Structure 1
Amino acid sequence: MSDVRLARVHYVPAALESGVLYVSDEYKVAMHLCACGCGSKVPISLGPAGWKITERNDKPTVRPSIGSGQLPCNSHYFITDGRVDWLRPMSAAQTVAALKSDHDRREDYYRDMNRKSLWWNRAWRRLLGWFGRG
């Protein structure tokens, strides 16, 4: 696969078409068949703690890179303006490091969100207390 087109969907279909990046904004997930042609489904979690997909001229760009180090093909690539830009295959150590980095990024994001939520809840309760409703 050398070109990727974007398909915005509510649900990702069970049968995927090669060369199509299916994006569900509602469920914050995207999926496509591995760019190498091996036929493996590659899920991409979206959002502040995941990948970001932008669109220009109906062509998707995905960041950071997509590393399929857990698949037998070990594919590693960017999708930029609908084009697959190949990177060196990921070694087992790089795959483990990338998975740990992804996990740590999600942990940090949700820990920070929890702190912000706790701060807001305490402030709200204090405000309600001032008005005799807390």
Structure 2
Amino acid sequence: MTIKKITHRFVEAIPENLEDGVLYLAMDYATAIHKCACGCGREVVTPLSPTDWKMSYDGVSISLAPSIGNWSFPCRSHYWIKHNDIRWAGDMSNEAISAGRDSDRRAKGRYFNPPEAAAPEAEVAPASGLWHTVRSWFSGK
């Protein structure tokens, strides 16, 4: 039985037994978890982070982005959670899935291992003193 709507619960810890149609949000662990919306019963873990999923809460409903693609599950379900609605998306080719995973790896690399900023060039203080003054008279500088 596919799910068309999901409710949400903010929890301190993920319960041992998940209910169908409930998205559990453990904010202390930056994690959301639910049973697959296709009805297969598998648990779907969505870590919340700048390089994983983003959760928005408007006081009434929850949305997750990007889409949830359960490519390693036999069901290969693919859907969005938007304002507590399950919006089904189409299947993706293995090539598209691979490209998406590569893109995710690159994004994590950029986020967690940013290129080091070039050190600002040290300002060289102009030479001063008696010898500098004498040399500048003869060199015209």
Same fold (TM over 0.5): yes
> What aligned pairs does 1:48-87 form with structure 2 within 5 A after superposition?
48-87=50-89
Question: Can you list the C-alpha shifts for 1:18-41, whole angstroms capped at 9, x where unaligned?
Answer: 111111111111111111111010
**Counterpart contact for 1:30–1:44, Cα < 8 Å:** yes
> Could you say which structure has the higher helix fraction?
1
Q: Distance in 2 between matches of 1:51 and 1:115?
A: 26
Instruction: Report SS of the residue matched to 1:21.
Output: strand
Q: Which amino acid aligns with 1:43?
A: V
Alpha-carbon shift at residue 92 of structure 1 (Å):
2.4
TM-score (norm 2): 0.75
Is 1:35 aligned to residue 25 of structure 2?
no
Q: Which amino acid aligns with 1:50?
A: D
Structure 1 alignment gaps of length 5 or more? 120-134
**Counterpart contact for 1:4–1:20, Cα < 8 Å:** yes
Aligned match of 2:19 in 17, 20, 38? Answer: 17
Aligned to 2:9: 7
Matched residue count: 116
Q: Distance in 2 between matches of 1:41 and 1:115?
A: 39
Instruction: Report SS of the residue matched to 1:16.
Output: coil
Structure 2 alignment gaps of length 5 or more? 120-141
Instruction: Report SS of the residue matched to 1:32.
Output: strand
Alpha-carbon shift at residue 55 of structure 1 (Å):
1.3
Q: Distance in 1 between matches of 2:22 and 2:45?
A: 13
Alpha-carbon shift at residue 101 of structure 1 (Å):
2.0
Aligned to 2:93: 91
Alpha-carbon shift at residue 3 of structure 1 (Å):
0.8
TM-score (norm 1): 0.78
> What aligned pairs does 1:95-114 form with structure 2 within 5 A after superposition?
95-112=97-114
Moved over 3 A (4+): none
Q: Which amino acid aligns with 1:79?
A: I
- % identical aligned pairs: 34
How much is the aligned-residue C-alpha RMSD, in angstroms? 1.8
